[in-house]
Structure 1
Amino acid sequence: MFNTGISKVSVGAGEIQHQIDTIAFNLYGINDKDRKAIEEAFCDRPAPINAPPTAPLSLTADLLSYTLGTIFGRWDVRYATGEREPPELPDPFAPLPACSPGMLQGEDGLPLDPHEIPPDYPLAVDPDGILVDDEGHPDDIIARIRDVLALIWGDRADAIEKEACEILGVKSLRDYFRKPSAGGFWDDHVKRYSKSRRKAPIYWLLQSAKKNYGIWIYYPRMDGDTLYKALRYAKDKLAMEERRLEDLRKEREQSGTGGAAVKKLEKEIDGQEAFISELHDFVEKLERAANLNLIPEHDDGVVLTIAPLRELVPWNEPKNYWDELIEGKYEWSSIGKQLAEKGLIKRS
């Protein structure tokens, strides 16, 4: 897949594919408007002008989405390492399998439970479906992605990461995963998993107000305990940062009355206080959602299940659907029934 010089190679391949597509569309008399509709229907995300799916930007986004999926146990990384041969293409008239080709699955052909991963599997799969944007944490999303890159590319992993960042136009992978707007992972992921009126991102970003802390949740593994587990991550982070602030204040008390070192320390204290305030806000919002004690029902769909997290997800849809839920619009849904039982539905 990726190697040094991929930009030039993939751009060339993309241009050739684009020319082939143009010839085919012209032969069938398909106009630009219809062409755009067709391309959007059959690509993972709406294709930007002159940026076919084989362009470096698309390939890089695909790669990072794949690495995250392997960490959560969605994809079988052994296909990427060469340990397993790619599955054969099924007969076009055969019934659709339960799992997409390349998914991590058991002998029964169903998705493999993370607690049933074979002991010789080359990658640690996250068991609770929760990762954090927290450098130094064992479940830090960037550290875990680097584990996947190292597994696939060995000592070339650093070069692959650097090239990926250059293609994406970001300073670091953390910037890419932390950025919720256009050009960041979350924005790409929402577009990738949205078709027509269906909006179903499976990797959820819960993010603090100033984007200095975040939690990623894998929706297919979400259950009634997930938000409480995520809350424990956030509370542990808050407690750790409060201890750090206390240490800084003690150091300040012992540092005299002036000088550059003291000013630097005071600035660090101010920044730490602001960060703790941000974390307090994050914890309060997550605790509100967790204390609703809602049991996720995947048949409700993503937009209804994510609605209680509207204060933390950098996406307008959760708030829109929450407002509609409270108005009683989705009374048929499991979450709608649970909210009604708790007396949270507005009655006209």
Structure 2
Amino acid sequence: MGQLISDKFTAWQAECEARFQQLKANEEELNRIFIDIYGLQDELTPEVADKDVTVHRIFNTKDDVPESMKGSNYVRTLRDEIVSLISYAVSCLFGRYSLDVEGLAYAGGEWDSSKYQTIIPDADNILPICDDDYFEDDLTGKFVDFVRVVYGEDTLEENLKFIADALGGKGAPREIIRSYFINDFFADHCKTYQKRPIYWLFDSGKKNGFKALIYLHRYQRDLLARMRTDYVHEQQERYRTQLSHLADALEHASGADKVRLTKQQKKLQDQSRELQTYEEKIHHLADQNIELDLDDGVKVNYAKFGDVLAKIR
């Protein structure tokens, strides 16, 4: 039998609540002891405000956060926990973490493939983020595979729905998860890493013509050349093929179908044009074989790639 993420969340929420209540009780007992020792009964009370207890407390939504916790830095929601799960999954897909060893599996140095048995990290350190299944290693598909492997095939759809419901949005679970990767993952990642991301988002622009994540610590000088050849050029060809099929379909379409196909054609044309401009930028940088010095820090290294990377906000 597979495992339900909802059950795991409920158990984790209860564990955090028990830890919160225990710490609060311990602090209040210590306060009582010191008040008695120093005879401060008329000046102090032992009670500790909920918002001053320094362990996390998890609520289903922001609306469930009680007034007593407002202002606390230790409030988390179901969405926060699901975002953390997604971040961990991406870390496993890049090899930063492994389900088979404790702690960091790789953060630079010599790569040890024996650490990875359950989830095999992406071979080329490039995970494209597409609005359709254009590539075998598309990030949405790889994440779905992660959920399947970790929690089981028979609970996959229920788990994907639980994840999607926590993220919020419209559409089927896979569509919502795909939308999260396209629109929100990098922003959440930058927030977690205080604007010093270790997963870098190559981003062609507002039309989402091309996006791909890489792991900083696995960067190699030829990465951009490989990205250009294996992904950007492939994506351009897919756009050309789809536009050709749409042109044929539009010749025989009418009514609502023609409106739908025309809208789809406009979107792909915009994406294709955006990607053409982006390919030129990637080509220019790929020819430079850019070296990174991790001792310089994320900010300095990130700036070396100009506007082919998403802006850190």
Q: Name the TM-score, length of structure 1 as normaliser.
A: 0.65
* Pairing 1:185–2:185 present: yes
C-alpha contact 1:206 1:215 (8 A) present in aligned 2 = yes
Residues 280-289 or 142-151, more deviating:
280-289
C-alpha contact 1:103 1:111 (8 A) present in aligned 2 = no
C-alpha contact 1:18 1:52 (8 A) present in aligned 2 = no
- Equivalent in 117, 123, 126 of residue 119 of structure 2: 123
Matched residue, 1:306: 302
Aligned residue pairs, count = 272
Q: Deviations over 1:146-195 (max 9, x none)?
A: 1211111112232222212222224421121112xxxx32122112222x
* Pairing 1:176–2:180 present: yes
C-alpha contact 1:224 1:293 (8 A) present in aligned 2 = yes
Residues 2-11 or 276-285, more deviating:
2-11
Structure 2 CA distance for aligned equivalents of residues 211 and 25 of structure 1: 53
SS of aligned partner of 2:152: helix
Matched residue, 1:61: 83
Matched residue, 1:244: 242
Q: Matches of residues 8-157 of structure 1 in structure 2 within 5 Å? A: 8-20=10-22, 49=71, 52=74, 55-78=77-100, 101-104=102-105, 113=111, 117-118=113-114, 121-134=117-130, 135-136=132-133, 137-155=135-153, 156-157=155-156
Per the TM alignment, residue 268 of structure 1 is displaced from its structure 2 partner at its CA by 3.1
CA shift in 2, pair 1:201/1:61, >3 Å: same
* Pairing 1:218–2:215 present: yes
Per the TM alignment, residue 216 of structure 1 is displaced from its structure 2 partner at its CA by 0.5
SS of aligned partner of 1:296: coil
CA shift in 2, pair 1:59/1:112, >3 Å: farther
Per the TM alignment, residue 292 of structure 1 is displaced from its structure 2 partner at its CA by 3.9
Structure 2 CA distance for aligned equivalents of residues 314 and 120 of structure 1: 30
Q: Deviations over 1:247-298 (max 9, x none)?
A: 3224444x28x55544443333223212212222332333343344321222
Q: Matches of residues 266-305 of structure 1 in structure 2 within 5 Å? A: 266-305=262-301
Which sections of structure 1, spanning at least 5 residues, go unmatched?
Answer: 41-46, 80-100, 318-348
Matched residue, 2:64: none
Aligned letter for 1:276? S
Per the TM alignment, residue 123 of structure 1 is displaced from its structure 2 partner at its CA by 2.5
C-alpha contact 2:186 2:201 (8 A) present in aligned 1 = yes
Residues 119-128 or 164-173, more deviating:
119-128
SS of aligned partner of 2:137: coil
Question: Higher relative contact order by CA 8 Å / sep ≥ 6: 1 or 2?
Answer: 2
C-alpha contact 1:129 1:218 (8 A) present in aligned 2 = yes
Aligned letter for 2:239? E
CA shift in 2, pair 1:51/1:3, >3 Å: farther
Structure 1 CA distance for aligned equivalents of residues 116 and 200 of structure 2: 29
Structure 2 CA distance for aligned equivalents of residues 164 and 303 of structure 1: 32
CA shift in 2, pair 1:303/1:39, >3 Å: farther
C-alpha contact 1:104 1:111 (8 A) present in aligned 2 = no
* Pairing 1:159–2:181 present: no
Per the TM alignment, residue 55 of structure 1 is displaced from its structure 2 partner at its CA by 4.3
Percent of counterpart pairs with the same letter? 24
Aligned letter for 1:104? A
CA shift in 2, pair 1:244/1:200, >3 Å: same
Aligned letter for 1:247? H
Q: Name the TM-score, length of structure 2 as normaliser.
A: 0.72
Per the TM alignment, residue 72 of structure 1 is displaced from its structure 2 partner at its CA by 1.0
Which sections of structure 2, spanning at least 5 residues, go unmatched?
Answer: 32-45, 57-68, 171-175
CA shift in 2, pair 1:178/1:259, >3 Å: closer
Q: Matches of residues 194-209 of structure 1 in structure 2 within 5 Å? A: 194=194, 199-209=195-205
CA shift in 2, pair 1:252/1:56, >3 Å: closer
C-alpha contact 2:52 2:72 (8 A) present in aligned 1 = no
Per the TM alignment, residue 17 of structure 1 is displaced from its structure 2 partner at its CA by 4.0
Q: Which has the larger radius of gyration?
A: 2
